[in-house]
Structure formats: structure tokens, C-alpha cells
């Protein structure tokens, strides 16, 4: 089995000190590729540095909605430069988070639109973070999303109805270990309607270890195998067939070899 963790934060302090061990455990578990996702200027630089050190590790660069308030013209210029590094395969994560509102909503919207523009200019796919802002996110994508190479809603936690809207736009959906949680019935219903050729897997580690490992405080890519098993069973698919299908989807989406 050769799974790809399409959204992890290996540069975050919980994991950064021992990435070699994290990678070794991941490969042993069948998770053999990683996309370490940038969230602010410092993390973007670290993500590229790290990806440069490992085979099958890639990076994305973006400004998380939490950090949108700090976005300047210089930050955007640097983001665009970094996005042209060899190992960078996507813009993000970007989007709207109206749950925490750590940045004012107008700042979040401005940063989101600016990053969509860069993604279009460089023909890179976009990783969307959307929390309690589904309608507003779709409105921005409706207005500014034309000409984007590809779009994925990461850590999807919406309803089946929302998943259908996302799929109707031609976008992709990726699931974390959250789908294995007892109280995630809504997310499970959404996962059932997402076909494997539009579905990707991720850990979003160091956060949110999947069941039955939820007690492991620091999540890591090796644990993604539990999410893969869970979703294969939910969809009534053989694990190997499901894994092959979502890996093919991930490679196509991010243009990986
Ligand atoms: Ni993330």
C-alpha cells in the first residue's frame, strides 16, 4: 500500500524535532508521501526547507485565515516567490475561519482572494480551510475561482448537502481522522457520497489522531492508515483498492510523479 498524507504540518514544533523518525514510522505503516502545509511566512519557508530534504515530500505555501490580519504586500510578494520553488505543489492553506475569527473577517476574505489570484497566476491547486463559513467560502470561489487549476476542501466536516455542492463545482474533498470520531455522523454521511476519484486523505497532524489512536496526543502520518481503513469500510471497498484510488487522485490533484 502506498498512501499519501496530503495535509500535514511536519514543521510544527510537536513534530519538527524528529521528522526522520516520523517519516520512518510513516513508511512502515504504508504512508509513503507527504505534503507539509505552510500557514504563515515562517512556516512556508520551513516547509520548503523540510521538503527539500526528503524524497516524496512536498510543500505548500499559504497564509492561514488565522494569520490573515498580518498579511502585507511584502508577504504576498514573498509567497509568490516561494510558490515557485521546486517542491511547492499548491497554494494554501487559505480560506475562512469564522469559528475562531482570529483575524477580522474582511482581512480573511482579502487574504483568501489574494491567494486565489496567485494560484491562478502560477497554475497551482488550492488547499482550502473552511470553518463555519461555508456559504461565504463558496461565494468567494464562485466569484474569484474561475480559471483555478483545482481546489480541495481540506479537513472536511460539512454535511452531505455541502459536499454535493463542492463536488458539483468540480472541487475535491479531503478527510482527516475526524471522520472516525464517534460524534462525526454528519461527516460520515458526507464521506459516503464523495467518490474515490474526488477524495483525498490527510492527517492534519500534529492535531486530531484518528480512532482507535485518538488518545495519542501528537498525531503523525503513520496514523493515517486508521482513517484509510475506516473510510474503505464505510464505502464498502477493499482497503487496497481504496488506497490505490485515493493515491491516484492525490497524484493527479497535486501533479505528483
Ligand atoms: Ni492544516
Full domain range(s) for residue 27: 3-254
How many angstroms is it from 204 CA to the middle of ligand 1?
A: 5
How many angstroms is it from 232 CA to the middle of ligand 1?
A: 23
Single pTM value for the model: 0.97
How many angstroms is it from 15 CA to the middle of ligand 1?
A: 14
Domain count of the chain? 1
Q: Are 204 and 9 in contact (CB under 8 A)?
A: yes
How many angstroms is it from 142 CA to the middle of ligand 1?
A: 23
How many angstroms is it from 93 CA to the middle of ligand 1?
A: 7
- The predicted structure's pLDDT at residue 156: 97
How many angstroms is it from 203 CA to the middle of ligand 1?
A: 9
How many angstroms is it from 162 CA to the middle of ligand 1?
A: 20
- The predicted structure's pLDDT at residue 196: 97
Q: What residues contact 8, with CB distance under 8 A and at least 6 apart?
A: 34, 35, 36, 37, 202, 203, 204, 205, 220, 221
How many angstroms is it from 6 CA to the middle of ligand 1?
A: 10
Contacts of 74-82 with CB under 8 Å at 24 or more apart are: 75/41, 76/114, 76/118, 78/41, 78/44, 79/41, 79/44, 79/115, 79/118, 80/118, 80/121, 80/122, 82/38, 82/44, 82/45, 82/48
How many angstroms is it from 8 CA to the middle of ligand 1?
A: 6
Of the candidates 15, 77, 75, 5, the one whose C-alpha atom is nearest the C-alpha of residue 40 is 75
- The predicted structure's pLDDT at residue 72: 96
- The predicted structure's pLDDT at residue 165: 98
Q: Are 31 and 7 in contact (CB under 8 A)?
A: no
How far is residue 36's CA from residue 235's CA, in Å, rounded to a whole number?
Answer: 27
How many angstroms is it from 51 CA to the middle of ligand 1?
A: 16
- The predicted structure's pLDDT at residue 64: 98
Neighbours of ion ligand 1 (CB under 5 A): 204
Q: Mean pLDDT per 10-residue run, the chain (257 residues)? A: 97 97 98 98 98 98 97 97 98 97 98 98 98 98 97 97 98 98 97 98 97 96 98 98 98 97
Cα distances (Å, whole numbers) of residue 44 to 40, 87, 116, 130, 193? 6, 12, 17, 20, 33
Domain CATH code at residue 79? 3.20.20.140
Amino acid at each position: 500500500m502506498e498512501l499519501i498524507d496530503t495535509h500535514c504540518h511536519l514543521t510544527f514544533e510537536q513534530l519538527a524535532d524528529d521528522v526522520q523518525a516520523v517519516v520512518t514510522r510513516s513508511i512502515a505503516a504504508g504512508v509513503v508521501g507527504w505534503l507539509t502545509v505552510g500557514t504563515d511566512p515562517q512556516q512556508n519557508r520551513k516547509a520548503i526547507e523540510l521538503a527539500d530534504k526528503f524524497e516524496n515530500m512536498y510543500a505548500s505555501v499559504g497564509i492561514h485565515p488565522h494569520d490573515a490580519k498580518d498579511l502585507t504586500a511584502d508577504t504576498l510578494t514573498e509567497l509568490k516567490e516561494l510558490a515557485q520553488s521546486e517542491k511547492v505543489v499548491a497554494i494554501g492553506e487559505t480560506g475562512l475561519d469564522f469559528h475562531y475569527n482570529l483575524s477580522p473577517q474582511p482581512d480573511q476574505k482579502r487574504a483568501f482572494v489574494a491567494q486565489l489570484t496567485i494560484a491562478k497566476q502560477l497554475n497551482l491547486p488550492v488547499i482550502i480551510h473552511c470553518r463555519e463559513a461555508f456559504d461565504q467560502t463558496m461565494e468567494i470561489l464562485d466569484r474569484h475561482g474561475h480559471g483555478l487549476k483545482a481546489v480541495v476542501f481540506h479537513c472536511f466536516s460539512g454535511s452531505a448537502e455541502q459536499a454535493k455542492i463542492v463536488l458539483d463545482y468540480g472541487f475535491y474533498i479531503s478527510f482527516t481522522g475526524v471522520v472516525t470520531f464517534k460524534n462525526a455522523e454528519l461527516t460520515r454521511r458526507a464521506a459516503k457520497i464523495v467518490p474515490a476519484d474526488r477524495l483525498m486523505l490527510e492527517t492534519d497532524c500534529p492535531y486530531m489522531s484518528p480512532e482507535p489512536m485518538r488518545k495519542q496526543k501528537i498525531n503523525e502520518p503513520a496514523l493515517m492508515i486508521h482513517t484509510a481503513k475506516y473510510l474503505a469500510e464505510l464505502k464498502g471497498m477493499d482497503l487496497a483498492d481504496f488506497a490505490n484510488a485515493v493515491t491516484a487522485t492525490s497524484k493527479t490533484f497535486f501533479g505528483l510523479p
